[in-house]
Amino acid sequence: MNAFRFAILCSLLGLAGCTAINSTSFTNMSSAYRDVVEEYSNTNILLNIVRASKDMPMSFLDIPSVIGTGNVLSNANVTTSQSAGTFATPPSVIGGSLGLTVNNGFTFTQASLDNAQFMGSFLKEIPLNILGFKGTERLLPRAVSYSILIESIELRSNNALVRRFDNDPLDRNYEDFQQILYLLIDAGLTVENATDKTPLGPPIEKSSLNRSLESWGPSTIDGMAKGSLSLDKAMVNGREMYQLNRTETTTRACVNKYRAEQLLGDALSPSAYCKDSLRLENSKQKYSKVMQDFVIKNVNAKNMELAIGIRSPGNAFDFLGSVLNAQFDSGGSKLVMIKPSPLELNRYGSGAPDPRPLFKVYRDANFINPVAVVSYKGVTYSVPDDDGSYTKNVLEFMSTLVTMAKIPGSVPSSPAVIVR
């Protein structure tokens, strides 16, 4: 009988020992959580665009940490009872039980970004070099990212404003802005780093250079080592001289020299041309109307400088709020449309796709698996998965701008809410 008990106990323990954590459940939970976080981000972006359209304060939340927990508890036991049995009745009863408990789950923290660190970065002008950070137009048409980032385009001559184009879909001259934007994009509008040198003191003769070096302090030597100061050779009145210069690298907007000359003639100053301008084939696009209208209104406009105004992330949300207002106030007839990129036009020729809405949101509509849905002041706003617009691209782009505004210290170490 003891051997029989031992066999049962070994069987139960063997079953318990074979119990393992089911990794499939954790994988499923992790995948589901990623979907929730994606929806959380999209909803947060859409909600703040809707708030901006209502001139209401924007508010952002963040999930700074996620902790997954899980455990498996198993138990096994054997029970026996003794009785004075007969030949026909067993003298004892042997029983066993096996238990298995599985617990898993996630805990995440939800933090508010309504603080000075985040808002200071969120309301600060976006660095100009962001104009080119998305790479080629295969990833995102420049007309889409430029429409979000650029607040205005100014043409100046002799430090005087010739014409300003405002990027506001509610402006009655908004079509003029779009036309000049398309023209500049076709002319290769981009950004480049420019190095400017400011002389410090008079030129130094070679024979006096050693004595000058001895008089320079440690800060000057450190500046030369770091590249903020430079010592450049120059010929002055036939003599070999050396000039100490302060070196500053700035980012500026520019266009391709050869394409701009083809499209604009001598309208732009050489200062507007990129230093590294490649020779491009002539553009196939015609801008005769926009240029004709511009020349009529600005007869003496030549040798003009180009000035690009860039938005802050907060202003980018305000712009998209205006896009929604333009759509809803007109009953959907005044959508901001974006023409196919030069890349698409060259690829498809006459069969290029039609213009597509920059950002389109539906009110009180039902979609299967929408990208984002929010309710605000009794109205439901939703973005379908695919309606032929650039809306999903814009949501992704805005998410990137918000992420860039999360400078160190903007995400609180102590979360506002812990969700289990």
> pLDDT tens digits, residue range 109-143?
777 788 888 888 899 999 887 776 655 555 678 89
Task: Quote the CA–CA distance of 198 and 112 in Å, as a whole number.
Answer: 45
Higher pLDDT residue, 50 or 388? 50
Using only C-alpha atoms, the chain has a radius of gyration, in whole angstroms, of 34
Among the listed residues 251, 293, 257, 291, the one whose alpha carbon sits nearest the alpha carbon of residue 272: 257
pLDDT score, position 78: 52
Give 178's pLDDT tier (boundaries 50, 70, 90): very high
What average pLDDT does the chain have? 77
Asked if residue 223 has pLDDT above 60, the reply is: yes
Higher pLDDT residue, 237 or 186? 186
CB distance 228 to 213 below 8 Å: no
Write the CB contacts of 106 (distance below 8 Å, at least 6 apart in sequence): 29, 33, 66, 67, 68, 69, 420
Give 202's pLDDT tier (boundaries 50, 70, 90): confident
Instruction: Summarize the confidence of residues 410-418 as an average pLDDT.
Output: 58
pLDDT score, position 8: 52
Higher pLDDT residue, 9 or 360? 360
Task: Quote the CA–CA distance of 329 and 297 in Å, as a whole number.
Answer: 31
Joined tokens for residue 286: 């015609």
Asked if residue 94 has pLDDT above 90, the reply is: no
pLDDT score, position 35: 65
Task: Quote the CA–CA distance of 147 and 358 in Å, as a whole number.
Answer: 9
CB distance 241 to 234 below 8 Å: yes
What is the four-CA torsion angle of 128, 303, 262, 295, rounded to 10 degrees? 110
Q: pLDDT exceeding 70 applies to what percent of the chain?
A: 65
Joined tokens for residue 50: 């809707």
Give 418's pLDDT tier (boundaries 50, 70, 90): very low
Asked if residue 18 has pLDDT above 50, the reply is: no
Higher pLDDT residue, 207 or 91? 207
Task: Quote the CA–CA distance of 265 and 345 in Å, as a whole number.
Answer: 23
Task: Quote the CA–CA distance of 317 and 52 in Å, as a whole number.
Answer: 6
Q: Highest mean pLDDT range out of 31-35, 83-87, 300-304?
A: 300-304
Task: Quote the CA–CA distance of 312 and 86 in Å, as a whole number.
Answer: 93
- Which residue reads 């929730």 in tokens? 36
SS3 percent helix, strand, coil of the chain, rounded to 5, is 40, 30, 30
Coil, strand, or helix at residue 247? strand
Give 4's pLDDT tier (boundaries 50, 70, 90): low
Length of the chain: 420
Which tens digits make up the pLDDT trace of 29-80?
A: 666 666 667 777 889 999 999 999 999 999 888 776 666 555 555 555 555 5
Distances (CA, A) of 2 to 6, 10, 97: 6, 12, 18
Instruction: Summarize the confidence of residues 214-221 as an average pLDDT.
Output: 70
> Long-range contacts of range 288-296, CB-CB < 8 Å, 24 or more positions apart?
289/179, 290/176, 290/179, 290/180, 290/183, 291/183, 291/263, 291/264, 293/176, 294/163, 294/180
Instruction: Summarize the confidence of residues 335-348 as an average pLDDT.
Output: 76
Higher pLDDT residue, 412 or 237? 237
Asked if residue 19 has pLDDT above 50, the reply is: no
Which tens digits make up the pLDDT trace of 247-285?
A: 888 888 899 999 888 888 888 899 899 988 888 777 766
pLDDT score, position 343: 67
pLDDT score, position 88: 53
pLDDT score, position 345: 66
CB distance 100 to 72 below 8 Å: yes
User: What does the DSSP 8-state code read for residue 273?
Assistant: B
Coil, strand, or helix at residue 173? coil
